[in-house]
Amino acid sequence: MSAEAILDPPVIESTDTPSVDLVALFRESGIGEVLAELDRDLVGLVPVKTRIREIAAHLLVERARETIGIASGAPTLHMCFSGNPGTGKTTVALRMAEVLHRLGYIRRNHLVSVTRDDLVGQYIGHTAPKTRDVLKRAMGGVLFIDEAYYLYRPENERDYGQEAIEILLQTMENQRGDLVVILAGYESRMDTFFKSNPGFRSRIAHHITFPDYDAAELLLIAERMLDSMHYRLDHASRDAFEDYLARRIAQPNFANARSVRNALDRARLRQANRLFADALHGGAPTGSAALTLIAASDILASRIFADSSDTPPPDPIR
């Protein structure tokens, strides 16, 4: 062998490259359990569940990249959930917080849910401490701001919402590694809010739209709610509630699952009044079958059947 070969041996490149077992990482994180709970607990919402799975997969891969030294920097995690009331935004936010915690993107499996009243004061010097107190409570977890567009009221020159917005924007940027903010509200109003506050739009990485439930999904939601409270529908009352839904969906102020729950609460009150009246007149003990059944008459007594042309009152008193 020549001296040159000894002094300058050939370079043999290794064929081994760093790798990571994504399936093992997925199992160890436990996010599969969270996603399964989301599928089980929420009816419908296929586009939303798909986006949540995509975000979870992206964050899992980012964690995998970190383990082999090719991370691309901390991802922006702030989100916007747009949709009508009663479409599961708060529930999904809770599940998202759990996913982020299990993957190590937040320190605590913790969500603080607030509205404008929790952030904005009524006099000078009141807003900043209120907003900072909320941020302090949410730090390390997720801050969920429902109806976020109410923070901005340009028609009122003496409104202090802009001060809260500025503090939120600063915190979202400077402490994004220790706080995830989720804004929520009606889609059209959120669009207007972002146009008026471009600082928010630039900090939001994920925009998720929550669709309304259709009648079949709402009926299934109703049956699940009743089952959890040990009530049931029979064939006649099920048909009556389907009719109720068809009428109610077409009227103002409909709030999806929230309206369904309010309707069932009213039906339970009517059932209780009916059973008590029957007991007073008949004197016989009331069996479990009667105590658990929501009858068709309990549903058909709703004012929505009295005159379908009337605008219904707000849900809480239906």
Q: Comparing C-alpha atoms, which of 223, 151, 163 is closest to residue 189?
A: 151
- Check whether residue 259 and residue 112 sit in a common domain: no
Of 141, 175, 210, which closes a domain?
Answer: 210
What domain range is 297 assigned to? 215-317
Q: Is residue 71 part of a domain?
A: yes
Say what the pLDDT of residue 16 is: 61
What one-character DSSP code corresponds to residue 142? Answer: E
Q: Comparing C-alpha atoms, which of 26, 46, 188, 211 is closest to residue 103?
A: 26
Match 């009246």 to its residue by tokens.
Answer: 277
- Check whether residue 145 and residue 122 sit in a common domain: yes
Say what the pLDDT of residue 188 is: 92
Of 147, 179, 210, which closes a domain?
Answer: 210
Say what the pLDDT of residue 310 is: 43
| Model pLDDT for residues 3-56, shown as the tens digit of each residue | 454 455 555 454 567 888 899 989 999 999 999 999 999 999 999 999 999 999
- Check whether residue 53 and residue 131 sit in a common domain: yes
Q: Report how far residue 263's alpha carbon sits from residue 268's, in angstroms, rounded to the nearest whole number.
A: 9
Say what the pLDDT of residue 311 is: 46
- How far, CA to CA in Å, does 295 sit from each of 236, 239, 270, 301, 310? 7, 11, 9, 10, 24
- Check whether residue 259 and residue 175 sit in a common domain: no
- How far, CA to CA in Å, does 243 sit from each of 249, 257, 289, 307? 10, 16, 24, 14
Q: Are 214 and 208 in contact (CB under 8 A)?
A: no
Q: Report how far residue 116's alpha carbon sits from residue 184's, in angstroms, rounded to the nearest whole number.
A: 12
Q: Report how far residue 168's alpha carbon sits from residue 135's, in angstroms, rounded to the nearest whole number.
A: 8
Say what the pLDDT of residue 268 is: 97
Walk along the chain (318 residues) and give the pLDDT tens digit of each residue: 454 544 555 554 545 678 888 999 899 999 999 999 999 999 999 999 999 999 999 999 998 988 888 877 778 899 999 999 999 999 999 999 999 999 999 999 999 999 999 999 888 888 999 999 999 999 999 999 999 999 988 777 677 888 999 999 999 999 988 999 999 999 999 999 999 888 888 899 999 999 999 999 999 999 999 999 999 999 999 999 999 999 999 998 899 999 999 999 999 999 999 999 989 887 778 899 999 999 999 999 999 998 654 445 554 433
Q: Is residue 124 part of a domain?
A: yes
- Check whether residue 117 and residue 247 sit in a common domain: no
Q: What is the DSSP string of 181-214?
A: EEEEE-HHHHHHHHHH-HHHHHH--EEEEEPPP-
Q: CB-side exposure of 121: number of CA atoms within 13 Å?
A: 13
**What is the number of structural domains in the chain?**
2
Q: Report how far residue 317's alpha carbon sits from residue 294's, in angstroms, rounded to the nearest whole number.
A: 19
Q: Report how far residue 314's alpha carbon sits from residue 272's, in angstroms, rounded to the nearest whole number.
A: 22
- Check whether residue 243 and residue 114 sit in a common domain: no
- Check whether residue 133 and residue 227 sit in a common domain: no
Q: Report how far residue 26's alpha carbon sits from residue 133's, in angstroms, rounded to the nearest whole number.
A: 35
- Check whether residue 107 and residue 230 sit in a common domain: no
Q: Report how far residue 228's alpha carbon sits from residue 20's, in angstroms, rounded to the nearest whole number.
A: 42
CATH number of the domain to which 227 belongs: 1.10.8.60
Of 159, 194, 210, which closes a domain?
Answer: 210
Q: Is residue 177 part of a domain?
A: yes
Q: Is residue 17 part of a domain?
A: no
Q: How far is CA 269 from the centre of its chain?
A: 29
Can you read off the two tokens belonging to residue 51? 């986006």
The SS3 call for residue 157 is coil
CATH number of the domain to which 147 belongs: 3.40.50.300
Can you read off the two tokens belonging to residue 146? 């429902």
Say what the pLDDT of residue 69 is: 85
